[in-house]
Chains A and B, each alone.
Chain A
Amino acid sequence: MGLAFKEETFRDDYTYRNSLDAIRRFPFPFPEDKYMYSVNIEPHVKGKPGSVLEFPLDIDEHYVSECRDKAITLARDPGRYASLPHMMDAQWDVLELIMESLSRDYPEQFKLTKDGNRWTWQNLPLGIENTFTFGDRSSLPMEPFEYVGRQIQGDWVILDQREGTLFADAGIVTSQADWSLAFDVGMSWHQWHAPVPRATEIGVMDRALKFMMNLQLGEPVRRLNWTMTLNPRLDTSPENYPLWGPDRNHITLDNAGDRVHLRVELQTLFRLPRSNGIVFSIRCYLISLNELATYPRWAKRFHRILKDLHPDLLEYKGLTKFHATAVEWLSRYDDGAPLDIGTHPE
């Protein structure tokens, strides 16, 4: 597997771009012209070779730069990593999941050798190598979940299952769509999702919780979620809202194609073996409207989704200020002709 990692930034000069291959494999989330919040969970089974679903955990051309951006965010705000004391078994579970998955699916980049509990981990793209004792916190330079969480794209939250619900008791969160780990850590499922509009009312959250509590070992699931971000910025946290919030004032028809990004989250859930916890991975894919419109079918579909979006969702996703501009920008790709169902680019 040849993976060429790009040198790029997700802040300041924003040099992040998608290659033609990356655009083509983008997980476009809209099979139909209408969108409403739903559970839409499916088994996380192997997808087509080359797609973001080929392996349980996807590594792409942005890996090195994304991990570097994560390190910057963590250095400026160590509170983006948090783990309550009872989560140590779950931390090792997640370390095992990530190391085994990457070394199996990307053997040229990641190597894991085991001699009983003595493990050696090599991460060639980031130049990391450590030998440690599995289960012994003191044998790693930091807590196992933070150690491995810094070496994987996306945000990770570990859920503890008790009292008939799930608690978000650990996380490493640096590329979130406007929610705060420091604030939400320790919350139960319903408290955590409290700000999602129209979801509690229609029972979506109850059904999703029931489903997740029954998640089986070895049978991970996934769903796609989406929002929009201005500039290819991973860290759209409430903590740094003063840094990125003002961008909403400067979107015009001229710059929308470049600055407005569709942000798709591939969310995957794995039952953890030793702790019986669940790890929730939120992997973010960004694509500018210009890049998206290289496949006019996608631009046309996205135009229809955005045009008819419920005002509560516009508000919740923070799209209100630039929504009209984005819709107008996309409208030139929409001739009104029907589109067949499916997320394919052509």
Chain B
Amino acid sequence: MERGYRIRSKPNYETLVWKEKASAHVVVAKGAGGMAVLQLFQQMHPVQPVTVFYVRGDSTDKDYSQTLTKLVGDELQVFDTQMEALYAFYRRLPDMKMGTRFYVSGTESFIWSLCKLAALFDIQESEIVKQLSNSLSRPVYCVHCKATTPNVTTNIVACSKCSRKLFVRDHFSRHLGAYMGLMIDAENPGEVPAIEEIYP
């Protein structure tokens, strides 16, 4: 399955920078992604209204909620879980106006969960500024059983639902918000190459 060419569906991530032309700004971050928000607030503060949704980092992730509370103030809402934050974000979408700019930072799983919600309001992922936080871990879609395994750090992973050993391809689906996982030992059952951490 080693492929000697680059796959162009892989998303590009950038650094959060305020957009100058805007009507409002909405920033959503999780755990270590809070650092990108702190960096954003080092820049000149925009004149338009700003709202920040932040998911507290858990034991495996960094937590910037205290620093953010001091720095951001009333514009900040802090949540304990990703689910709560995304739900709060989603409930606000109907009241938002065109010209609202979106920024997101966190793991790839988090970023694309948010993009899928925004897409329901015809906000395309290309309109959302995305910064990957300190992990390269990937959401991996099992093409065989259709389950997505979040936060995969290795080249090969056991599917969280069907347990097949999946090779993590570079081919990325924005619709699913995940990389394709294809059974590695389908042709030769049991022949699985060494599993290595390559998306730390």
Contacts and interface: CB of A to CB of B under 8 A. Distances in A.
| Chains A and B belong together in one complex | yes
Contacts of A79: 146
Contacts, number: 74
B187 interface: yes
Contacts of A195: 3, 7, 9, 171
A245 B4 contact: no
A24 interface: no
B141 interface: yes
Nearest to A162: B124
B16 interface: no
Contact of A187 (B141, B175, B183): B175
A238 B182 contact: yes
A contact patch SS: helix
A10 to B, nearest CB: 19
Contacts of A321: 187
B161 to A, nearest CB: 14
A14 to B, nearest CB: 19
Given A195-B171, A249-B187, A315-B3, A180 B143 contact: yes
Which among B7, B8, B183 has the greatest number of chain A C-beta atoms within 10 A?
B8
B84 to A, nearest CB: 27
Contact of A241 (B4, B173, B175, B182): B182
B200 to A, nearest CB: 24
Contacts of A184: 173
B90 to A, nearest CB: 17
Interface in B154-200: 164, 171-176, 180, 182-183, 186-189
A99 interface: no
Ranked nearest first, the 3 interchain pairs of A and B with the lowest CB-CB distance are A186-B175, A194-B9, A194-B8
Interface of B: 3-5, 7-10, 141, 143-144, 146, 164, 171-176, 180, 182-183, 186-189
28 contacts: A182-B143, A182-B146, A183-B143, A184-B173, A185-B175, A186-B173, A186-B175, A187-B9, A187-B175, A191-B9, A192-B9, A193-B8, A194-B7, A194-B10, A195-B3, A197-B5, A198-B5, A239-B144, A240-B144, A241-B143, A241-B182, A242-B183, A246-B186, A246-B187, A246-B188, A249-B188, A315-B3, A321-B187
